[in-house]
Amino acid sequence: MKKTWLAIDTATEACSVAVGDGERIWQDLVVAPNRHSDLLLPMIDGLLTQAGLRLEQIDGLACGVGPGGFTAVRLGISTMQGLAIATGKPLYPVSSLQALAAGASGKPVLAAFDARKGEVYAAAFRPNALGVPQLLAPEQVCRPESLCWPPTEGPWLGLGTGWTAYGRHWPGVQDWQGDRYPQAAQVLQIAQLRAAAGDPGIAPEALEPHYLRPSLVVEGK
């Protein structure tokens, strides 16, 4: 039986929503800093309509949980908690850095988001046999000059806004794309594979943001 999914990612400047019906994935992505609260619910409604689905027909929910902007991540978390409570459907948290890496078509990825305050969110991933990015070391937030990537020999690809902001600190990597964002379609695909492998998902109240650093100040970035 085909499973239908709804996924979002709001961790970066991009607000992204995806819907899948088991055969096709529809996605909407808008790069609009500080407008996620205005965009997210209309994007969800519009994409469900485009896919010809109602919310009650969704079988699984997936949420990018960061790291990323505190306010934007909280918005995504609270929205998906509400939808999971309303529908009673299983909920799957996915690292936004892992979702970014999943868009690299099976290449090893050095994923980096600009974390503001002179810092970067970063992690290195290699794809497993299914092509799913596997974390090589704990995700981290640090100053870019303090970041230690794995040895860069080989076909590493740098992805994310951290490369535009701080790529000069990592001259050993020549192949990078700073205009890439985590996409809900990859969040959806990672959650689907986990569900197929027997992961039951989590309860709505267990969904938590993955900030990496304390949320000491309420801010939009």
Which domains does the chain show, CATH number per domain? 5-96+182-206 (3.30.420.40), 97-177 (3.30.420.40)
Strands across the sheet with 14-20, in order?
25-31, 14-20, 5-9, 60-64, 91-94
CB 92 within 8 A of CB 36: no
What is the number of other CB atoms lying within 10 angstroms of the CB of residue 215? 12
Confidence (pLDDT) at 219? 41
Separation CA 54–CA 134 (nearest Å): 33
pLDDT per residue as tens digits for the range 103-118 = 998 889 999 999 999 9
Question: Could you tell me the sign of the dihedral formed by the alpha carbons of 206, 129, 12, 24, in that order?
Answer: negative
CA dihedral over 29, 61, 126, 138, signed as positive or negative: positive
| Distance between CA atoms of residues 186 and 174, nearest Å | 25
Q: Rounded to an integer, what distance in angstroms lies between the CA atom of residue 60 and that of residue 201?
A: 9
Phi, psi (5° rounding) for residue 113? -105, 145
Find the Cα–Cα–Cα–Cα dihedral 201, 204, 207, 208, rounded to 10°. -170
List of E strands, 95-193: 109-114, 120-127, 133-135, 140-142, 157-159, 176-177
Q: Let me know: does 4 contact 19? Beta carbons within 8 Å.
A: yes
Over residues 140-176, the pLDDT tens digits come to 999 999 998 987 667 899 999 999 999 999 998 889 9
Those residues whose C-beta lies under 8 Å from the C-beta of residue 172, and which sit 6 or more positions away, are 149, 152
- Residues in the chain with pLDDT values less than 50: 216-221
